[in-house]
Structure formats: structure tokens, C-alpha cells
Structure 1
């Protein structure tokens, strides 16, 4: 009779290893927490203004506070995950996000809601960690499909989150949103702890980059705050120039430090790799364009009355349902995008998604007032977004070692957040300049110009993506010893050598 298998042997551990569906489902659940927490507050703004008798500039901080923390958390969470274990860091992030929801729920004041939203912002680290865990634990041939599904889940979770938040407000109050978010985050943390295999990261003795971790959120916060306020203050105001100048100055200091420190929070040398640099550039342009600039003018087209000549007369509920339906349609294409990426390369799928998003904009511009054509265009746009989100992490994975997956994905998340924030500011500035001061209605010309700016950035993103390599040269991080040798600071070589 053979002896029972040792529960600690590799064979026994392999038998307990969860399958593709279990791992991807848990990581999608974690990403849904992040996407829901981002989208849930947009629909809540009018209710908070009414309940707390506050002005819009104050209440909008429930969104701004989240974005400020989220942009930096994406980078820092990814880096810490690569260093100390992605599963462990993801669980901590989800617990902190849940705690932030409880602070907003129980605080009883607008200030406490904003504080809780800032704490929730750590959920910005989820996507990078999820991509790293997928690459770490899925079979190689299943990684493109799994990563595509996780990436595209942000699309459907964002649209569904806005609809669910609106329903909760109507049925209960804004308190229900934070209660739901807290429960969802805790469930995701427990599921991650129980289902995702233990971290395989080998412990190292690298010192955390505390100064870089401090400078990065200061730089990002100043830039995002300046952009978010620009629609009110204007681009020529002292406030905008001061915030942007401070952000740029701290950014330059941060870059100088990151190039000198032994274990940077963001390894900026990755941008020497052609593929990574082009992917990041295409991401910024797409965020400035269709990924970040389509939502506001499209909502106006849907909800403005038909008498304007371009509006479709949808109610707010109908517009929310439409957005959710198109997002769901796009998500159905995410597995196909992953399979196509595995067969033809992620670059092809990435470009296809960008091209599709660019093509729908002229359709909208040329068919204002036609509900059928708008529905077709926005459906194709959602498919393009799903393909782009799904292919983006796969494009990075092709050029990044497994040990730096979460760090690179987190950096990409930060880049995308900054681009989307800038897109919102640019769009708001254009629309406000074509707004009737008496009726507050935006003229068709303003809507058209907002779409045209989106189209310009969409075309630029396609052109940059076309420059990407079909077979990229992977980035090989430089070791500390190699860096010391290159700088001429190594003392291992004898003085009379050579």
C-alpha cells in the first residue's frame, strides 16, 4: 500500500490549486470593487448637494479625493505587490477600501464622506495587482483570455455601478451605496484570501522607497487638482498655473530621485524599452480621447431634448440602462479579444480597439439626432473599449518580466487616470464656453467640438500604436550590481586591471 501524499509536496499543492474560472472570477470581483467605488459617486452628486446644502464645487471632492489617491495607489500598490506578494497586498488594499466605505457611511458629515472616499482610493491598486496575480497563477496559454476578462470587467462594473447606485438612492438613500461597497470589498478580500494561491515572491532585502512614495502622490495630486479645477478657474488663472507648476516641479524632483534610488517605487528605466514607452504614450492619448472624453458629451446627446436638433430625449434612467447595456455588450467580446491576442498578438487587438473607437466619432458627428445610428455607434464604441482594455495589459505583459508585472500595470493605471482627468477638464472647458448662461444648455457646436477633440486624440493614439513592434524586445531590469558597475562605483575590480 502506498503512503498517503504529503500535503506539503508539490504534487499535493498542485491538486489543491484552483482552476482558471475560480482565479479569474475572484480577480474580477476585486476589480469590480475598484470600478464600482469609482463610478458610484457620479450619480450621487445631486443628492449630496441637496442633503448637505452644499455647493457643487465642494461636493465634487467626493470624486476628486478618490481620484487623487487612486492615481498614486495604482503605482505604489503594484510595486509593493511585486516586492512583498500580490495576494497579501491585494487583501490589505480591499480591507482598507472597505474601511473607507464605513468611514463615509458612519461619519455623518460631508467632510467624513470625503475622507472615506480618499481612503477608498487605495482601490486604485487593484487592477495592477490582479493582472500580476493572473500572470503568476494562470497557465501561460490562458493568461491572455484571463487578463482580457479582468481588464474589460472595469468597463461593465463602471456602467453597472452607476446604475446600481442610482437604484439604491431611489430605493433607500446614499447610505446604501457605502454599505454595499463595504460588504463587497470585504467579500472580495475573503475570496482572495481563500481562493488565490499563496504568494510565490521570494523575499528580498530591498529597502522601500519611502521618499518616492511620498513625492509621487504630491506630484499627481497637484496636477490632477489643477486639471479638475480648470473648468472653474480657467487655464490662465493663478490657481491653475500654481498647481500645475508645483506638480511639475515635484514631478521633476521625483524623477531625479527615482533614477538614483536603489529600489524605486517606479523603475523609470522601463521607459527606455521602445514597446513600453509606446504603450504608455498610446494609453495617455487614448485616455485624453475616447477613454476619457466620450462620456460627458454622449450623456448630453442622450438626455438633451429632441428640440435641440442633436438630443435624443432619454431620461436619466434610460440613459443609465443604455450605458449598462452597451457596456455588457462590450464585455461579451473580452474573451474573444483575449483569444485573438493569444493567436495574433496583443498589438493587433489593441490597435483594432483604438481604430474602432476612432471610427464611431465621425458617425456620431454626421448623424446627430438619429437615435438608431447613435445606438449603433455607442455599441461599437463599447466593443472597442473592451478590446482596448483587454489587450492593454497583454501588450505590456509581452514586454515585461513576470516579477515586474504589477508595477508596470500600476504605472499604466496612473497614466490612464491622469489622462482621463485631463480629458474631463478639457471637455468641461469646451462645453462651458458654448453654454447659454441663462438656460445652461450647451449648443450643438460645443458638443461637436468636444467630439472633434476626442477624435484628434483617438487618431494620434492609433498612429502611436502602429509604431509598436510585432515582436517586442522584452525589458530586462538592471540589477543593482550592474547599475553600480555602469556608474563606476564598484570596488570589485582591481585598480591595475586591464
Structure 2
């Protein structure tokens, strides 16, 4: 048994498998915590801009801080789950997430809110761990539907996050959002105990890649801080160039380290597998585009005054209810997406979801001020997200061995969160450059530019997805023995030279 993965050491036939429905419900609840903590803030952004008298670029850090930590947590959590037990690690990250919610709750400044949001980012590990537990405890023929429902549960969280945030803002304040998030995290952690069996993992001599897990968020944070501040400093400023340069240099050091360390936080050699490389690339493009770039401009369309050509005049509660209904419409398609993935392949479902999200953007652009067209567009967008989120884990399962499910899914979560962070930073920059400093309102040209930005990356994600194989070759991780042989050969070659 490979020490690299620290995977299950017992015969699953000797263990009593929990019921399919019970596993799906508790893992969906856990995933809702992660996705809720992200989605709840989009409705809150206009309120925070007014309450703290800051611009869109500054307040965007309540989203970006979460995504940055979430990116590293997704990889680290997945790695620790494969090594030490997914159930144990999942409960720990949910508790940490709850603590972050409490920090934001008691914080009276934007800085403390951002700090709490960063701590909440530990929940970024949930999805990778949930996929690993689903594959571990479900019958093989039920896995496609199960992971599709878990993956698409982000829609439920998006629906609940938008709706609950809207109610809290209109009836109380943004503080109530964090109180609800803390309670939800605790409930999810408690629910896992009696349903998911205790971890049965082999002993491992591997040492966690702490350096790699520290270098990664530093690199990403520097780059995104430079991008988010560019609307204030300009692309030619010393601050912008310095931050971008720092990020690139640290990223190169991180790549060098990951390729040399024995237990990398991200096994970069997995990208030699064509299918995995394409999946990650399409995920990144989709995260910058429709997955991460739609939320902010669409919320502004809904909550801006109806007297503006593009505004619909919704209150925060109405906007939340609208997002809730359209997201639930999309989630109803998640079981169908799983069945389609099982029958026709996850690639087909993935391409269909990306294509659908791409097609709705022209509908929004051509239907400014038309509530009916906006309802149709956002409902179809939710269906597209549901299909895409459901297909992603199934594509990864087709391409990786069971022992590396959480690690690879965690890496995919990292890629998606980096993409969403980029989308938030670039979207904030685009909107800030079209923002009236007196009223803080963004002009129609700014909203249009943000949607066009999303459209470009949506198209690119579809193009990349078309190159995915229907029947991929499974990635076979390098064993310790193979690595020693390779390194020995490299040493001999360097000596001979």
C-alpha cells in the first residue's frame, strides 16, 4: 500500500455501508456551509459599500479573502483527508469556519470582517473531502448521481445565502448573516458524526507540505491585491508592478518546491495527464467567467433603481428571493445531470452546462430592464451551473484513482477559487472605473463591460472543454519507488555530464 496516499486500509466489505440518502444529505449540508459563506456576501456588497463608505474594489476583499484562503484550504484539506481521514478533517474545517463567522460577527470594522472571512475560508476544503467520502461510502453505480447532487448543492447554498442575506439586511443588519453561518457550520459538524463511519486509514510516514501551503496563498494574494488595487493606483504604478512581480516570483518558487518535495501540497505531475490538465484549465476559465463573474453585476442589475435603463429596482430581500427561486430551479436538474453523466459521460454534461451559461449572457445584455427576460436568463444560468458543478467531480473520478479523489478534487477547488478570486478582482476593477464617486452608482457601460468580460471567458471555457476525451486515460500517481528511480537516474545523468 502506498504511503503517498494514506488511503483506506480495511476491507469495505467488512464495514456496514451507510444509506445513500443519509450520506448525500449530510455531505450536502457540509457543502452548503462552504458555498453559503461565499454566496451570502454578494447580496451584502452594496450594503457594505454604503455602510463603510468604500469603493467596489475595496469591499470586494470580503469575497476575495475567503476565496484566497479557501484555495489553499481546498488543497491542504484534501491532502490531509487522504492521509489522516476525510471524516475527521471535514469536522475540523467546519469548526474553524464557524469560528471565522463569529470573528466577522463581533467585528465592527471592515478589516475585522475581512479577517473573519479569511478564517471562514477553511471551509474551502469541504467539497474535496465530500467527494472523497461519497466515493468511499457509496455503491459504485450510485456515485455519479451522489456527487452530482453534492456538487450542485452549491446552488442551494447560493439560493439560501442570497435569500437569507437579503432578509437580514432589510430587517436587521449584515451581522445576522454571520450568526446564521456560525450556527449552520456547527450543525453540519454535529450531523456528520452519526452518519459517516469513522475513518479507517493506514499509517503514513509522509510529512505535510507546510511550505507549499504557505507559498501558494502568498503568491495568489499578491497578484490579486495588485489587480484589485489597479483601479486606484494604475497599471504603471510601483505598487501594482511590485505586487504582481512578487506574486509571480513566489509562484515560480512554489512550483520549483512542489516538483522537488516528497509530499507536495499539489502534485503538479498530475497535469501531465491530458484530461486532468484540460479539466483544470476549463475550470479556471469558467470560474473567471460565468461561475465567478456573474454574481456582482447581476446583483447590481437587480438592486439598482428602476429609473436606470438596466436597473430592476429590487430590494435586497426581493433580490435574494429571486436568486433563491432561480437557483432551486437549477438544482432540480442535478440528479438528471448525474444520470446523464453515468449514461453519456461527464464530458457531455460539462460542455452542455458551460454552453448554456454562455448563451444566457447575450439575453441579459439585450434585455436590460426587462424582468421577464432576466428571469429566463438567470433560471437557465442556474441550470447550467447545476450541470457544470455536477459534471466536474464525475470527470475527475473518471480520471483519477479512488485513493487520490480528495487530493485531486481539492486541487480543482483551488483552481476554481483562484479563478473566482480573479473574477472578483477584475470585475471590481471594471466596475470601479465606471463608478460615480458621489453616488457610488456604476454606469450602464460598466455593467455591460463586466458582462462582456464574463462572456469572453465563457466562450474560452467551452472551447477548451471540447478537447476533453470521452474515455480518458486514468492518471497513475508515481510511487515512492518510481520517484527514487527517477531521481537516481537524474543524479547519474548530471554526474555523467
Please confirm whether the aligned pair reaches a TM-score higher than 0.5, indicating the same fold: yes
Q: 1:365 to 1:181 in 2, by over 3 A?
A: closer
Give the number of aligned pairs: 482
Is 1:194 aligned to residue 202 of structure 2? no
Q: 1:13 to 1:170 in 2, by over 3 A?
A: same
Is 1:204 aligned to residue 204 of structure 2? yes
Contact 1:72 1:220 in 2 (8 A): no
Query: After superposition, where does 1:267-286 map in structure 2 within 5 Å?
Result: 267-286=267-286
Contact 1:347 1:470 in 2 (8 A): yes
SS at 2:471 equivalent = coil
**Could you say which residue in structure 1 is the equivalent of 2:357?**
357
**Could you say which residue in structure 2 is the equivalent of 1:24?**
24
1:11 deviates by 7.1
Q: 1:472 to 1:88 in 2, by over 3 A?
A: same
SS at 1:308 equivalent = coil
Contact 1:135 1:402 in 2 (8 A): yes
Contact 2:64 2:424 in 1 (8 A): no
Query: CA separation in 2, counterparts of 1:46 and 1:349?
Result: 35
SS at 2:41 equivalent = coil
Query: CA separation in 2, counterparts of 1:175 and 1:116?
Result: 12
Q: 1:208 to 1:319 in 2, by over 3 A?
A: same
Task: Kindly provide the CA deviation profile for residues 188-219 of structure 1, in whole angstroms up to 9, marking residues without a partner as x.
Answer: 11111221112233222112222212212222
**Could you say which residue in structure 1 is the equivalent of 2:328?**
328
Query: After superposition, where does 1:133-172 map in structure 2 within 5 Å?
Result: 133-172=133-172
1:297 deviates by 2.4
Task: Kindly provide the CA deviation profile for residues 385-431 of structure 1, in whole angstroms up to 9, marking residues without a partner as x.
Answer: 11001111111111011111111111111111111222223223333
TM-score if structure 1 supplies the norm length? 0.90
Q: 1:9 to 1:262 in 2, by over 3 A?
A: closer
Contact 1:71 1:220 in 2 (8 A): no
**Could you say which residue in structure 1 is the equivalent of 2:461?**
461
Farther off after superposition, 284-293 or 482-491: 482-491
1:45 deviates by 4.9
**Could you say which residue in structure 2 is the equivalent of 1:367?**
367
Query: CA separation in 2, counterparts of 1:95 and 1:338?
Result: 30
Task: Kindly provide the CA deviation profile for residues 15-54 of structure 1, in whole angstroms up to 9, marking residues without a partner as x.
Answer: xx32111001001111111112223334445666777x66
Task: Kindly provide the CA deviation profile for residues 142-195 of structure 1, in whole angstroms up to 9, marking residues without a partner as x.
Answer: 111111111111122023113212323444444433332222212111111221
Contact 2:170 2:317 in 1 (8 A): no
**Could you say which residue in structure 2 is the equivalent of 1:392?**
392
Query: CA separation in 2, counterparts of 1:189 and 1:438?
Result: 45
Query: CA separation in 2, counterparts of 1:131 and 1:9?
Result: 20
SS at 2:399 equivalent = coil
Query: After superposition, where does 1:9-408 map in structure 2 within 5 Å?
Result: 13-14=15-16, 17-45=17-45, 55=54, 61-106=61-106, 111-408=111-408
Query: CA separation in 2, counterparts of 1:469 and 1:10?
Result: 31
Query: CA separation in 2, counterparts of 1:116 and 1:307?
Result: 37
Determine which structure has greater relative contact order: mean sequence separation of CA pairs < 8 Å that are 6+ residues apart, divided by chain length: 2
1:359 deviates by 1.1
Farther off after superposition, 352-361 or 190-199: 190-199
Contact 2:162 2:320 in 1 (8 A): yes
SS at 2:207 equivalent = coil
Q: 1:122 to 1:439 in 2, by over 3 A?
A: closer
Query: CA separation in 1, counterparts of 2:428 and 2:388?
Result: 25
Is 1:475 aligned to residue 475 of structure 2? yes
Query: CA separation in 2, counterparts of 1:347 and 1:73?
Result: 27
Contact 2:300 2:311 in 1 (8 A): yes
Query: CA separation in 2, counterparts of 1:419 and 1:25?
Result: 28
Contact 1:330 1:383 in 2 (8 A): yes
Contact 2:32 2:153 in 1 (8 A): yes
Query: CA separation in 1, counterparts of 2:329 and 2:217?
Result: 35
Farther off after superposition, 299-308 or 135-144: 299-308
Q: 1:212 to 1:324 in 2, by over 3 A?
A: same
Query: CA separation in 2, counterparts of 1:296 and 1:44?
Result: 10
**Could you say which residue in structure 2 is the equivalent of 1:409?**
409
1:237 deviates by 2.8
**Larger-Rg structure:** 1
Contact 2:310 2:368 in 1 (8 A): yes
1:245 deviates by 1.3
Query: CA separation in 2, counterparts of 1:189 and 1:293?
Result: 30
Over the residues paired in the alignment, what is the CA RMSD in angstroms?
2.6
Q: 1:235 to 1:394 in 2, by over 3 A?
A: farther
**Could you say which residue in structure 1 is the equivalent of 2:4?**
none
**Could you say which residue in structure 2 is the equivalent of 1:496?**
none
Farther off after superposition, 55-64 or 363-372: 55-64
Contact 1:41 1:63 in 2 (8 A): yes
Unaligned runs of 5+ in 2: 1-9, 492-497
Q: 1:352 to 1:48 in 2, by over 3 A?
A: closer
